Structure 1
Amino acid sequence: MSHVTPGSSTTAPPIPLPGDVTDGRSARWADHREARRAELVRVARKCVHQRGADVSMEEIAAAAGTSKSIVYRYFTDKTGLQRAVAEAVVTQIRDALAEALAAAATPRDGLRAMVGVYLEMIESSPRVYFFVTREGSLEPSSPLGHFLDAVTELVAAPFARALTDAGSEPTPEDRELAETWAAGAVGFVRGAGERWLRSQGTPAAVPREVLTAQVAAWLWAGPVGVLARGRGT
């Protein structure tokens, strides 16, 4: 007969079923795999930053202290690894752009802040930037495709805010124009930024601050500025 001490419950703790043990081990294994995968992405990003986009899987595996077969187990091939690195990079850029926009005092300041943050981040590691944006990564389901859609929404925000600050709510036509302009603006900023990166070290290169001011001014002087001025902003 079991002994029950005074004040204790007579209900015994549940005995884990075999399935519970298996589930716990599976969860721990999944956590381990996710942590290991994140570490491999970090190492790959560092290797690309130091050696360029043509760094081999063997070099990445060596830097991670593992074998090439283990890297392939997590990413299948170099394209899979490229997508994983792209996901980490574009998430970081997108979050930084959102923070810059949220901290801006005016719509125009927000636009300029986002242009400045974008140029600063791609300048910090051109090799990584070109690695994650190289051909084949722009399909709608790719990390970069999702990133461009998200950034288009962010860039459209100052447009809508300018109209609201002018005392009127944006109409459906305004919103459509904002999205169309923003999609073009994202492509414009990306093209200008990539050309600027490639010009580094040549007489054509300009300081980042100068390009930031130029690009922001050109964008604001376009449809955003025209419509905002028409509403009295």
Structure 2
Amino acid sequence: MPEQHKAGSGDGRAARWAGQRSKRRAEMVDAAVAAISVHGPGVSTGQIAAQAGVPRPRLYRHFDDADDLYRAVARRAADLLSTSMSPVLEYRGGTAWELIETGVRTFVIWLSEHTDLYRYVMHRAVQDTEGVGAMVTDIRAALAARISEILRAYLNVLGLDTRIADPAAFGLIGLVESAARRWMNEPNALSREEFIHTVTGWVWGVVHHTLRDAGVELDPHEPLPSLPD
């Protein structure tokens, strides 16, 4: 019995220590995100350490190396984007235009509010194709997969070939992200509202062409058909 009590106490201490380490690591990621907003996507680990209020070497008590820190920041960015997009991807009802515009608007606003964080992650993705790069690919794939589910559901209700949902979803993700990334670098070319309206029209154009090619005419401002529960 005494040995069991001793082992249990050790397990409790280990769990508390692991929880403390996880908390401190999350705080360091918070500091990194804050430092990026202050110093931009070229932020140094020294600036991140200063934001966290610790000497630079102490950062690496919580991360294996600089790449581990970069990947933790990328995961945080992915969580922020997923949280922002989640209500949109659960959207039901309304019109096709409203559904598309809501998705485009949510992504563009998120990008506008996290421009430096996005640039930081994308820059690292190019340099680290097996780490951050793979993570960025996974994020895009997850968003595209969810959009594909929505498209497939509506195509099925309309009696159309659902096989086109997947390539269409991935293509639309690429269109919106590429256009938004370019607009982000040249924001004075179009106001945010003008850009959102324009890109919504482009996405609808792809959807409209796909439906018309299958013999279906859908008014983008008429309510969408109901989906089965």
TM-score normalised by the chain length of structure 1: 0.81
Match of 2:226 in 1: none
Question: Per-residue deviation at 1:225?
Answer: 2.0
Paired with 2:6 and 2:35, the residues of 1 have a C-alpha distance of 43
More off after superposition, 140-149 vs 82-91: 140-149
| Counterpart AA for 2:140 | L
Q: Distance in 2 between matches of 1:107 and 1:101?
A: 13
> Which one scores higher on RCO, CA 8 angstroms, separation ≥ 6?
2
Matched position secondary structure for 2:90:
helix
For the aligned residues, what is the CA RMSD? 2.2
How far apart are residue 123 of structure 1 and its match?
0.5
Give the whole-Å Cα distance in 2 for the aligned partners of 1:57 and 1:158: 41
Identity %: 27
Map 1:113-124 to 2 at 5 A. Answer: 113-124=102-113
Aligned to 2:176: 189
Find the aligned partners of 1:157 and 1:216 in 2 and give their Cα distance. Answer: 19
- In the alignment of these two chains, the number of paired residues is 211
Gaps of 5+ in 1: 1-13
Query: Which residue of the other structure, out of 8, 18, 34, is the alignment partner of 2:6?
Result: 18
Q: Which amino acid aligns with 2:33?
A: R
**CA offset digits 1:83-133 (Å, max 9, x no partner):** 111111112212322212323524442222111111101101211110011
Q: Which residue does 2:85 correspond to in 1?
A: 97
Alignment of 1:76-91 (within 5 A): 76-91=64-79
Match of 1:131 among 120, 143, 146: 120
Alignment of 1:1-233 (within 5 A): 17-105=5-93, 106-134=95-123, 135-137=126-128, 139=130, 142-166=134-158, 168=159, 171=161, 174-175=162-163, 177-200=164-187, 202=188, 204=189, 206-222=190-206, 224-229=207-212, 230-233=215-218
1:139 deviation in Å? 4.3
- 2:186 & 2:217 partners in 1: Cα distance? 39
Q: Which amino acid aligns with 1:151?
A: L
Offset from partner CA, 1:6-25 (integer Å, 9 cap, x none): xxxxxxxx765221111111
With 106-115 and 121-130 compared, the bigger mean Cα shift is at 106-115
Moved over 4 A (4+): 137-141
**2:224 corresponds to:** none
Cα distance, 1:58–1:146 mapped onto 2, change above 3 Å: same
Which of structures 1 and 2 has the bigger CA Rg?
1
**Corresponding residue SS for 1:76:** coil
Q: 1:34 to 1:87 in 2, by over 3 A?
A: same
Gap change, CA 1:110 and 1:158, over 3 Å in 2: farther
Please state whether the residue corresponding to 1:75 is helix, strand or coil: coil
Q: CA deviation at 1:49?
A: 0.9
3-state SS in 2 of match to 1:228: helix
What secondary structure does 1:53 align onto?
A: coil
User: Aligned partners of 1:185 and 1:127: how far apart in 2?
Assistant: 23
Note closer, same or farther for the CA distance 1:96–1:44 as it changes in structure 2 (3 Å cut): same
CA distance in 1, matches of 2:69, 2:50: 15
2:144 and 2:173 in contact (8 A); partners too: yes
| Compared CA separation, residues 44 and 54, structure 1 to 2 (3 A) | same
Can you give the 5+ residue segments of structure 2 that lack an aligned partner in the other structure? 219-229
| Distance of 1:87 and 1:65 partners within structure 2 | 22
Structure 1 position 40, deviation (Å): 0.6
**Maintained 8 Å contact 2:84/2:110:** no
